[in-house]
Amino acid sequence: MENKETVLVTGGSGFIASYCIIALLNNGYRVKATLRSLKKSDLLKEMLKEGGITSFEDLSFAEADLLDESGWEKAAEGCQYVIHVASPTPYTDATTEDDFVIPAKNGVLFVLKAARKAGVKRVVLTSAFGAVGYGTVKTTPYTEEDWTVLNDTVFPYQKSKTISEKAAWEYIKTEGAGMELSVVNPTGVLGPILADDFSHSIQNIKQMLNGEMKACPKIISGYVDVRDVADLHFKAMTMPQANGQRFIAVAGDGYSLLETAQVLRKNLGQKAAKVPSRELPTWLIKLLAIFNPKLKAVTPYLGMVKRASNQKATTMLGWKPRPTEEAILATANSLIRMNLIP
């Protein structure tokens, strides 16, 4: 039996984390997944089965919480790498800014301290495009040189990602003692879901398919398939040149919600019968938002164009993401297959 390296993956039952686990198991690594409660381990196994994993002999679990330092040292023990994905997402029960920022920042520091103590070689942090492209307006695509400027236009989620990523770089510089860090900054994450827990971007596609979104707000953003996000994490963990670098995960040029809807209508026939076919004028949404809290949440993003470049990941690491259209259809087909569209 050859000596396999062990990778700690935090927030194991999340959308990106579960695909990172699949990539690691498929590449011959042992994985220790952290969960806030070990009761979720059966759910995670079901998700991994859905993703094609048939043997769990290289998978173990550890209980750890971003709000509590106590479980992390034990979790990191015996690990050569850490992929730190766990962080409050826009769909948690977080409501105030502190609900996002405190667990995100403290969690990063708990994990880095535990990793350093365990002698981990490299940590890969899942940050977000939220730490790159907010608080500023750019006509050219955002790159890894850009950082979100924390002003009052930036939402708590993006703030938490920016503050926690900066804290990680600072820790490595001042206390990292030679431990390596690499960071992945995904844009909107699409792709085949493994359970009914999925990313914010998939919510949009679900609302289009089930008829909740009657017309498309004018928003343009970058997207990437979750399988390619996991592949970029794997490359960021294993390739020497990824040390000390951050990488934006985006498939290509930005897609508007209307273009996303058009992909669905063009390819899914009758299944896309409820998908909207027109764009709503921004002034109208702002007017309707006065009476509709769901629309109100969207208004700050209206007219926003956030394009990002994947040049660094593709040239430095040879990363090849699948086209956005493919990611959109994989998302829709998985929602339909899992009976999440009535």
Q: Give 293's DSSP letter.
A: H
Mark whether 161 is an active-site residue.
yes
Scanning the structure block, which residue is given the tokens 């952290």? 34
Residue 19: phi and psi, rounded to 5, are -75, -30
Mapped onto helix, strand or coil, the DSSP state of residue 271 is helix
- In the chain, what are the helix, strand and coil shares in percent, each to the nearest 5? 45, 15, 40
Neighbours of 51 (CB within 10 A): 20
- Work out whether strand 59-63 and strand 246-249 pair parallel, antiparallel, or are unpaired: unpaired
Rounded to whole angstroms, the Cα distance separating 165 from 270 reads: 44
Measured between alpha carbons, how far is 65 from 71 in angstroms, rounded to an integer? 7
Alpha carbon distance 175, 168 (integer Å): 10
Residue 256 to residues 138, 228, 302, Cα–Cα distance (Å): 17, 20, 11
d(CA 163, CA 210): 36
Q: Which of 105, 161, 206, 235 is catalytic?
A: 161
Instruction: Please give the full DSSP string across 129-173, using - where no structure is assigned.
Output: GGGTSSSS--SSPB-TT-----STTS-HHHHHHHHHHHHHHHHHH
Q: Cite the active site residues.
A: 161
